Amino acid sequence: MIVKHNLKVFISLLLLFFIKTSYGVFHPFIFVPGDGGSQVEAKLNKSSAVHYICGKTSTDYFNIWLNLELLVPVVIDCWIDNIKLVYNNETRKTENTPGVDIRIPGFGGTETVEWLDPSHASSGAYFKDIANELVGLGHVRNVTLKGAPYDFRKAPNENQDYFIQLKDLIEKTYNENNQTSVILLAHSMGGPMTQYFLNMQKQSWKDKYIKSLVALSGAWGGSVKAVKVYAIGDDLGSYVLNQRTMKQEQITNPSLAWLMPSSHFWQKDEVLVETDIKNYTLANIEEYFIDVDYPDGWEMYKDTQPHSLSLGAPGVEVHCLYGTDVPTVEKLIYKPGKFYDTPSFVNGDGDGTVNRRSLEGCMSWVKQQKQRVYARPLPKVDHMSILSNPNVLQYIANLVNTI
């Protein structure tokens, strides 16, 4: 087994040497996923379960995200109880359900961010097409291509250990590749997570270790969709899933509170939810959390606000690609006396998940930093299909070829 591993490493290094001598030095890539973009594993040792069909113990860790077999009716109740978070008002942090141990596998490799489903079911493909494109150009998985998965349920205030790991991975990747600066490629929430990380670093460190940030569908200013999830949940675009069932897990994630619309992108008096009794804006958002019967959401919102989505420019070259002209919720409207029913939606421009004003937040950095900021709107490209869009793959290929 050790011999096979050493042989594999030797072949990878030999291939990398051939690449460097044939094509010049490649800037290595590190993939930073967004919300839902990392595999999650769980190990159980529970004293009770929500249903008689739910297991209470497991001998080892098993895949809990993305595992479609756990999202079928009835079984999904077990899944929710295992993956949801419990807010602790004293520590101001979340905890796993008692008896559940959660871990994020595969840090440093690409496998668990290329495929969210370990079985490689097509529905679980994530960074797979981008990785294949880069491999076709000569990159090598786990050598010049790395992955940095994290617990996407949590916001930056609960991911400080991750940022330490990410910095170490960047420095390690830099040294493994002949002191060549790294390209960070982030998707969705991974964009502001990377922005937050870069704002933690000294400029001299960034000048040395970071070549650029390539951001796809960056949720720089949050999204009104987060408001919708607190109200009725989200079915993740699947006809099989029930959004109100999914809501039971989704609202326990501090990352959802972090992705609420930012006051730097939305006016304080701009109506987000309209009812016959009162309207909800960022000015009275506390009342919204109370009225949807989730006061813990307000506590998480307060906890994550010091880690604002509106941080300053990252101080590195940025390539910002995002979809436009896809109907994206801008406001929820409830019929009189029907606040707990399904609302209607007023849609605006965006990528179907993130509003355009948020997607274009990176453009504000043009005047805030000396490093170049490139923006590429992609008409009719939605939030997830951007990961396999031919124009995006070509953009990345051109970026590699012109370095």
Catalytic annotation, pick one of 188, 255, 262, 263: 188
Return the H-helix or E-strand segment holding 179: none
Neighbours of 381 (CB within 10 A): 24
Residue 188 a catalytic site member: yes
Does residue 184 contact residue 193 with C-beta atoms inside 8 Å? no
> Looking at 256-316, which runs of residues are DSSP E strands?
273-274, 279-280
Strands 328-333 and 273-274 come out as parallel
Q: What is the DSSP string of 364-400?
A: GGGGT-SS-EEEEEEET--TTGGGT-HHHHHHHHHHH
DSSP assignment letter at 341: S
Structure tokens at 372: 């170049």
Close Cβ partners of 12 (under 8 Å, ≥ 6 residues apart):
140, 142, 143
C-alpha distances (whole Å) from 327 to each of 34, 324, 353, 356 are 21, 9, 9, 10
HSE on the CB side for 11, CA within 13 Å?
7
Instruction: Quote the tokens at residue 215.
Output: 């951001």
Q: Which of these is catalytic: 27, 139, 187, 383?
A: 383
Catalytic residue among 81, 117, 151, 351: 351
Instruction: At 196, list the tokens.
Output: 């937050």
Q: How many angstroms separate the Cα of 92 from the Cα of each of 160, 163, 300?
A: 14, 19, 8
**Residues 41, 105: contact at Cβ < 8 Å?**
yes
Report the alpha-carbon angle 384-142-26, nearest 5.
Answer: 90
Distance CA 251, CA 230 (A): 6
Can 12 be counted among the known catalytic residues? no
Q: Per the structure block, which two tokens stand in for 61?
A: 């860790």
Characterize the bridge pairing of strands 145-147 and 29-32. Answer: parallel
Find where tokens 């929430």 sit.
Answer: 189
Q: How far apart are CA 17 and CA 20, in angstroms?
A: 5
Cα end-to-end distance, the chain, whole Å: 38
Listed residue (274, 268, 258, 269) closest to 345, CA to CA: 274
Residues annotated catalytic, as ranges: 188, 351, 383
